[in-house]
Amino acid sequence: MTTYLNQIDYGDRAVEKVLLNHLVGIKSKMDTIKTFESVNSSTLSEADYASFLVNGQLAEGHQLPNEFIKYKLEDFSPRIEASNSSDILIDKLWSTLEETVTQAYEGRNIILPLSGGYDSACLLGLLLKRKSGQIFCFSFDSRETRPGSDADIAKKQAEKMEVEHRTFFFEDHSLLDIIRANAAAGPCLRDVSYEIHAYKKAFEYAEKKFENPIALFGDEAMGWVSMKLQSNNDVLGSIGLRSSKALSKLNVLSDAHKHTLIHALDRSYESIIESSEHISNNDCKKDFLYQKVRLPYNLLPLRKQITGPIIPYAMPLLDKQALNVIEECGVEERLDKSLYVKMLNRKLPAIFSIPRTNQSQATLNVRQKLIDEASSIKTFILEQKLCVPNLLSNEQLVSWLSQLLSDNDEELKKGSKSALKPIFRSKIVEILNGRFVPRILTTKLRQRLYNPFNSGPDEYTMFLRALVMAITWDRQIE
């Protein structure tokens, strides 16, 4: 894998640009590579359109922004067997995190999104070992804090550690408000953020309270969950990518257009798999692609777009020193973040004595929001100077929304059984993802049954992505 460095002068500052080759042996020219710095309809491909509709992220193959360079994304080499005993690796990882978090942010005022999970709680525990510096934690939920939810667990963690915590609710805003806020954030690099207002409120509150705060996020690459990995499609699904077949449901597009988008996305997937051909073990391949594709194209763009314009931010658990230690771990240590979780329970027993949530993460009911706000959203669409070239016009988007509403009416007419299908499916997914089932049984279920690649997004989600894509990629919001 070749990395090219070049200095480009952008006005009064020189920034280091990294050109990433994702196909071994193929060199890309500076003037033809696509970049996160200049995303618009003229620089994007059919693969980008297709990937954004299906996955909520750009297709692999873009130049990464300057601030992502410091993370070890391209040269991660996962191994099958660990280089040392678990105890040695735990101590090594812990001392590294103490250096990259506790010491590195000594005296700084920190804004910490607290999810109730391992990663943000890990940051909280490390930050509390500092001698100085304030911490403000926040979480978000849909309409109210549900007992046992992520936000509820986060609040309990903060209270136990005597840290200020607030919860913000994204159901306080209309879907149209959320669309406008995402559009105002600039060209969409990653899926629509339903929590965008919660982030803004938290940052505004902290800036009034603290001097020069910085937001820290718990994004990490300590391993990934166990799941069925019998094919390349399974590997793609394990890093959040979904089958191009989801595009075949889009009747608003012609058959020829759908075929073009499906073919482009499949070619993009082939490129991703080719880049990992040097790795034979599928669990290692999964962890390699998590860093090569999932982090730079899904997680990091969210931080850049939602947080970057408002406040400084960092992801210290992705520090190269920490990932060097994870490189020494074997498959067993990375599966279900096994070594990382052992370390947290051993080093931070107070925080991790609080049980984790047994509920799914709060999210927006896009389907119901579109139904409730259909009239105002249609008016909004027709007022915009949108239309990503060769994709969807204003009229096609309105027609698509009308079709979704019509399909919903038909489902309601069929009775309660049809209405229960989405609920039933969501509960099955929760079970397979580790909810309500003993851990040992969960692993077996994942390995035998769970293939997220084929559980593509519903049409309501794809419609919302298409709308925000058309607005933000040309930056013509009215």
Q: Structural domain boundaries of the chain?
A: 67-363, 368-454
Confidence of residue 8 (pLDDT cuts 50, 70, 90): very low
456-470 pLDDT, tens per residue?
898 999 999 999 888
43-62 pLDDT, tens per residue?
788 899 999 999 999 898 77
Residue with tokens 């965008």: 196
Choice among 4-18, 68-82, 213-227, 320-334 with the minimum mean pLDDT = 4-18
pLDDT at residue 287 in the model = 92
Confidence of residue 38 (pLDDT cuts 50, 70, 90): low
300-315 pLDDT, tens per residue?
888 888 887 888 999 9
Confidence of residue 142 (pLDDT cuts 50, 70, 90): confident
128-141 pLDDT, tens per residue?
999 999 999 999 88
CA-to-CA dists, residue 237 to 150, 336, 464, 465, angstroms: 24, 16, 22, 19
**What percentage of the chain has pLDDT greater than the value 70?**
78
Residues 6+ apart with CB under 8 A from 253: 247, 261, 392
Conformational region of residue 6, where left means phi above 0, alpha means psi within -120 to 50, and beta covers everything else: beta
Mean local confidence (pLDDT), 283-287 = 93
Confidence of residue 35 (pLDDT cuts 50, 70, 90): low
Residues 6+ apart with CB under 8 A from 81: 330, 331
260-283 pLDDT, tens per residue?
999 999 999 999 999 999 999 999
Residues 6+ apart with CB under 8 A from 473: 39, 40, 41, 44, 187, 188, 388
Return d(Cα 337, Cα 425) in angstroms, integer.
Answer: 26
Give yes or no for a contact between 129 and 105, defined as CB atoms under 8 angstroms apart. no
The SS3 assignment for 13 reads strand
Whether the predicted pLDDT of 149 surpasses 70: yes
Query: ∠307-4-74 over CA atoms, to 5°?
Result: 60
Query: ∠256-260-263 over CA atoms, to 5°?
Result: 130
167-199 pLDDT, tens per residue?
988 878 899 999 998 888 877 778 888 888 888
pLDDT at residue 245 in the model = 94
Q: Which fold has domain 67-363?
A: Rossmann fold (3.40.50)
pLDDT at residue 21 in the model = 24
Q: For residue 197, give the amino acid letter.
A: H
Choice among 12-16, 29-33, 104-108, 263-267 with the minimum mean pLDDT = 12-16
Return d(Cα 47, Cα 45) in angstroms, integer.
Answer: 5
pLDDT at residue 309 in the model = 80
pLDDT at residue 9 in the model = 24
The SS3 assignment for 388 reads strand
248-262 pLDDT, tens per residue?
988 888 899 999 999
Mean confidence (pLDDT) of the chain? 80
Pairing of strands 313-314, 13-20: unpaired
pLDDT at residue 424 in the model = 56
Confidence of residue 415 (pLDDT cuts 50, 70, 90): low
